[in-house]
Structure 1
């Protein structure tokens, strides 16, 4: 069995943990503002406007659920780290994200998207720390890889893996991704299917 992510459809949006829907499986997708999260979702699902890309980073303030099969969802979390967002809103996002990642039992894995040119910023580490207590798998997607040379691609993969292992994150995988070049889609879909159908 495998899931066809091109069938993903918007399901609901929430702004607090009390409003989360009843589900069986969730794959959480998180990243800094402007890291390419919406572009990744649209590319993975082969839809142009499933997730809205904004010219103003930090506009997405809610948790968005996209159903890929009955009771099975991709969960688009608010982007974090954009400096022009008011402090109170930023703190709300960080608290919302942290509590969701730590407490939501239905999560079967986390996709953390980072700009391949600027990986592992402070707030990325904060999200990794929030999620690490769950002992669930982490998949790092290094986006915008079309902007790197081949040598830079190898270097960033090795460096990010080295730092995460030194931090103590062992159940992890990572990949390069480029939405404009449509590179990395199959690798990402394979990983998500492995989480959803671990014995397949």
Structure 2
């Protein structure tokens, strides 16, 4: 149980934390990121978008562990501090008593109505996060805010927001806070959080609330487990779509194959099937990370405005992917699609001599074909996806998963294209592409819900290779 606090009104043992600060400092943005609730409150560049105290919870095992109170901005802190300094001075009242007296007076319902909402909540909670826009210069209004919050006799944890921004004045703020006795400070960025920033936030809060250390450690462990679970799910989603793409094939007759326009249409239709599968995986990654396809802040994602459609089958992108995959420049007629002889579901290569093709089959194992080999040399062509295309898809989806993992739920800016360019990914992704090759002989693996033991093992292997690539780095 948390220690009793005079005036506390939390109906259970959830830790109550007020989120306070100047207007437009990023309080609601911080809470969206901490709770992964992208639609909580209103986030805008307009000042004063939070006008009332709003509540959001962080739950563990279905029970609230932390209860955050998003408060209005402190709009006229200088005038309020002047008022508090004069109020009760003759009676020798201490600072908390002056705050309580102010809340009982007419000013709390008049010119300082918004500030009164903040101070009233400050007296009810266990601690406060004081959110600071570190891009702003330190002004008298900020110094007054610090004095007012300290007057409430509650532990205050300054959260220096937007510290990644080049305009951040981090050193100035750190000096001012330390001069006011607020030595425990947290650097944060609600738009693009640092790796482990949430855990550090709660660890530092525990120094101000030693009686709540065990609870806050539990919160940190819970956050780590949830993040790990999201990365596990993302790696399995990417592995699944790579299996489905490797298994994807469509037959075309000799007449269609021989006529250039008809063949081009067949290839375009086949490419569209691949795009649909990839977009479905991208939407899955959004859902895993708590975003939504129709989220206005993510409305211009690459696969929604055609950039991925163009890049996915762009000849130069495929040639580069082929080189990174170790295939040289010869890639599936530069369209990412190969028209192969249909032989038991295996790709023989349209230009291969029959003897060479048979040798390739033998090297891959007769059991994949069984006794149907000779009966299936029918001359029907099958469209399949080139390995360079699989490599490029893996690059793009790994890039997207990484970006979403690092994207705060308050981000307003357009997400850039998700293709990962790190050359260190080449070797592990080559192994991923190799791991999904068994799907080449299993066209039934294209369908969702294919639940054979063999498919699960192959997906597990590919996911295990992908999983380390999704670990955060800073």
Task: Give distance in 1, aligned partners of 2:47 and 2:110.
Answer: 14
Look up the match of 2:422: none
Look up the match of 2:38: 48
Structure 1 residue 120: deviation in Å?
4.0
Look up the match of 2:186: 175
CA displacement 1:81-122 (0-9 Å, x = unmatched): 39xxxxx97621112223432x32xx2221111111215433
In structure 2, the CA distance between the partners of 1:96 and 1:180, relative to structure 1 (3 Å rule), is closer
Look up the match of 1:4: none
Contact 1:43 1:179 in 2 (8 A): yes
Look up the match of 2:178: 165
Q: TM-score, normalised by structure 1?
A: 0.67
Would you tell me which structure has more helix in proportion to its own residues? Answer: 2
Asked whether 1:97 is paired with 2:151, we answer no
How does 1:1-200 map onto structure 2 within 5 Å?
A: 22-24=11-13, 25-68=15-58, 69-70=63-64, 72-81=66-75, 91-101=112-122, 103-104=123-124, 107-118=125-136, 120-148=138-166, 156-157=170-171, 159-167=172-180, 169-170=181-182, 172-183=183-194, 184-192=197-205, 195=209, 197-199=212-214
Task: Give distance in 2, aligned partners of 1:131 and 1:80.
Answer: 10
Contact 1:143 1:176 in 2 (8 A): yes
Structure 1 residue 80: deviation in Å?
2.9
In structure 2, the CA distance between the partners of 1:72 and 1:181, relative to structure 1 (3 Å rule), is closer
Contact 2:21 2:27 in 1 (8 A): yes
Structure whose CA Rg is larger:
2
User: Moved runs in structure 1, 4+ residues, more than 4 A?
Assistant: none
In structure 2, the gaps of 5 or more residues are 1-6, 77-108, 218-474
Structure 1 residue 23: deviation in Å?
5.0
Would you tell me which structure has more strand in proportion to its own residues? Answer: 1
Structure 1 residue 146: deviation in Å?
1.8
In structure 2, the CA distance between the partners of 1:89 and 1:179, relative to structure 1 (3 Å rule), is farther
CA RMSD of aligned residues (A): 3.1
Q: TM-score, normalised by structure 2?
A: 0.31
Contact 1:23 1:71 in 2 (8 A): no
In structure 1, the gaps of 5 or more residues are 1-17, 83-87
Matched residue count: 167
